[in-house]
Amino acid sequence: MPDKNIADQHHATFESIRHLDADGNEYWLARQLADVLDYSQYRHFQPVLERAREACQNSGQPAEDHIEDVLTMVDIGSGAKRQVEDCRLSRYACYLIVQNGDPSKPVIANGQTYFAMQTRRQELADDEKFARLSEDDKRLAIRNEMARHNKHLAAAAKEAGVETSLDYAIFQDHGYKGLYGDLGNKEIHARKGLKKSQKILDHMGSTELAANLFRATQTEEKLKRDKVSGKQRANQTHFEVGKKVRQTIKEIGGTMPEALPTPEASIKQIESAKKKLAKK
Which stretches in the chain have pLDDT values below 50?
Answer: 1-7
Last residue of one domain, picked from the residues 45, 79, 112? 112
Based on the fold, state whether residues 105 and 149 are members of the same structural domain.
Answer: no
- Cα–Cα distance measured from residue 135 to residue 186, given in angstroms and rounded to the nearest whole number: 26
Return the half-sphere exposure (C-beta side, CA atoms, 13 A cut-off) of residue 82.
5
Q: Which among 112, 146, 168 is the end of a domain? A: 112
pTM higher than 0.75? no
What is the separation, in whole angstroms, between the first and last Cα of the chain? 58
Question: Which amino acid appears at position 163 of this protein?
Answer: E
Helix 231-251, helix 165-179: angle, nearest 10: 20
Q: What is the pLDDT of residues 15-35, one digit of tens each?
A: 788 999 888 889 999 999 998
Q: Is the same domain home to 12 and 66?
A: yes
User: Where in the sequence is the domain holding 183, given as residue range(s)?
Assistant: 124-273
Residues 240 and 130 in one domain: yes
Domain boundary, last residue among 112, 144, 175: 112
User: Is 102 a member of any domain?
Assistant: yes
Residues 6+ apart with CB under 8 A from 13: 36, 107, 111
Helix ranges (H only) for the chain are: 3-15, 30-36, 42-58, 91-99, 106-123, 128-131, 135-160, 165-179, 185-192, 206-225, 231-251, 267-279
Look at residue 117 and tell me if it is in a domain.
Answer: no
> Does some domain include residue 279?
no
Work out how many domains the chain is built from and give that number: 2
